[in-house]
Amino acid sequence: MTKTPLLTINDLHVSFFTPAGEVKAVNGLSYTLGEKEVLGIVGESGSGKSVSAYALMRILQHPGKVTGGSIDFAGKAINTLSEKEMQVIRGKDMAMIFQDPMTSLNPVFTIGSQLRETIMKHTDLNRAQATARAIEMLEQVGINNPEHRIKQYPHELSGGMRQRIMIAMAMSCKPKLLIADEPTTALDVTIQAQIMDLMNTLRNETDSSIIMITHDLGVISEICDNVLIMYGGRVVEYGNVDDIFYRSAHPYTKGLLNCLPRLDDDEDIMLTPIEGTPVDLMELPKGCTFAARCDSCMRICLKQSPPEFILDEESNHVVSCWLHTVPKGGEYNE
């Protein structure tokens, strides 16, 4: 018996129509997300990971447009909803926290008023009740002295605290889906550890599903159930966290894992980088987006973009790579 997934994205295409040309940021993204699941989306700059989240929340900035595909969230077809209907969903069922805590909060309003705004928009609570709920949320995210904090302005607080407040704001209406767009990238490592601890708590104690967008594989390995690897606006690999880290199938995934300097490495080994430069989204190649940088590049890779191949039915480990058309041992199972 399969549970209906909370979120289904099917063949999503997003482009930015700039004066210089069309930038194809997302080219055929498909995945599903279940309830209480933590999905990590990994990619570097230009992979389309953040753009896809913005498209999901329908907060794409001009000149970005969704040019194809469908998004189904909790039974509703997101791309057909009106802006009014979306405003009901945003903040209440679907919430997002952004990368830069310095600019995500409005500097002219107190923390309290920003929290209250979200709460009062989506619930029936009056002002006093909303304030109480805001204080409760701040406690939950580990901010001490919350009664004092709600009267403060964003510039009086540090980056780590602002990120906690963002998380409190996002979680205040108990959303079904929390999207975290590089939440720890702009933070120091020790503050990052605090925030990761908080996210782990959220994951264990709430019913929200989380989409964690990041380029940091360390963060992914710590908190995610499933991982989606993106390159050049396409999915290159998808699987649960063990599959991705221990049984990675795509050359890009393997390359990423191998090029990271690790603390538990032996010293004196040279890092194995991935050669070449990121793909130009205005001139997408005909074939596989990763072909130019791939050591195992074959002729077909330059001609045609690979479809997704199922490696493991059970764990839903999927890879987009022509290497996997040749089955192991050269045997076919009819």
Partner 1 sequence: MSKLLEIRHLKKHFPIKSGLGKKKYVSAVDDVSFFIEKGETFGLVGESGCGKSTLGRTILRLHEPTDGEIIFDGDSITKGKMAPYRKRMQIVFQDPYSSLNPRMTVGDIIGEPLVIQNSSMSKDDIRAAVLEQMRVVGLNSEQLNRYPHEFSGGQRQRISIARALIIKPEFIVCDEPVSALDVSIQAQVINMLIKLQKDLGLTYLFIAHDLAVVRHISNRIGVMYLGNLVEVCDSRTLYKNPLHPYTQTLLSAIPIPDPKISRNSKRIILEGDVPSPINPPSGCRFRTRCPYIMDQCAKEKPEIIEIEPGHLCACHKVTKKM
Partner 2 sequence: MKMNSDNFDKTLTKILKYTKPFSIRLAPDDMLSVPPEERQSDVTLRPPSTYWKDVFRRFSRNKVAIVSLIVIILIALFAFVGPYFSPYNYAQQIRGSERLSPCFAHPFGTDALGRDMLVRVMIGTRLSLTIGVFCAAIVLLVGSIYGAISGYYGGMTDNIMMRIADVIYSLPTVLVIIILQISLDQPLRELFPNSRLGTSVISIFIAFALVYWVDMARMVRSQVLLLKQNEYVTAAKAMGASDTRIISRHLIPNSIATITVSALFQVPTAIFLEAFLSFLGLGPSAPMASLGSLASSALSGIQSYPYQLFFPALFICLLVLAFNQFGDGLRDAIDPRMKN
**One-letter-per-residue 3-state SS of 116-185:** HHHHHHHCCCCHHHHHHHHHHHHHHCCCCCHHHHCCCCHHHCCHHHHHHHHHHHHHCCCCCEEEEECCCC
Among positions 83, 205, 207, 267, the unique one binding partner 1 when judged by CB under 8 A: 267
Site for partner 2 in 279-308 (CB under 8 A): 280, 282-283, 285, 291-294, 296-304, 307-308
Structure tokens of 89? 């969903």
How many angstroms separate the CA atoms of 246 and 131, rounded?
47
Q: Does 156 bind partner 1 (CB under 8 A)?
A: no
Structure tokens of 19? 């004066």
Q: Does 18 bind partner 2 (CB under 8 A)?
A: no
How many angstroms separate the CA atoms of 243 and 237, rounded?
10
Among positions 19, 140, 208, 257, the unique one binding partner 2 when judged by CB under 8 A: 19
Per-residue string for binding with partner 1, 208-227, x by CB under 8 A? -------xxxxxxxx-----
Among positions 80, 82, 126, 277, the unique one binding partner 1 when judged by CB under 8 A: 277
How many angstroms separate the CA atoms of 197 and 220, rounded?
13
Is the Cβ of residue 110 or residue 185 nearer to partner 1 in the bound state? Answer: 185
How many angstroms separate the CA atoms of 276 and 292, rounded?
7
Give the count of beta carbons closer than 10 Å to the beta carbon of residue 317.
21
Tell me which DSSP letter residue 107 carries: T
Coil, helix or strand at residue 229 = strand
> Which range in 80-88, 105-113, 156-164, 321-329 contacts partner 1 by CB under 8 A?
156-164
How many angstroms separate the CA atoms of 161 and 175, rounded?
21
Is the Cβ of residue 90 or residue 164 nearer to partner 1 in the bound state? Answer: 164
Q: Does 39 bind partner 1 (CB under 8 A)?
A: no
Question: 84 Cβ partners below 8 Å, 6+ apart?
Answer: none
Q: Does 258 bind partner 2 (CB under 8 A)?
A: no
Q: Which does 1 bind (CB under 5 to 8 A by kind): partner 2, partner 1, none?
A: none
Q: Binding residues for partner 2, per CB under 8 A?
A: 11, 19-20, 30, 275-277, 280, 282-283, 285, 291-294, 296-304, 307-310, 318, 322, 325-327, 330-332, 334
Q: Binding residues for partner 1, per CB under 8 A?
A: 44-45, 158, 160-161, 188-194, 196-197, 215-222, 241-242, 245-246, 255-257, 259-265, 267, 270-275, 277-278
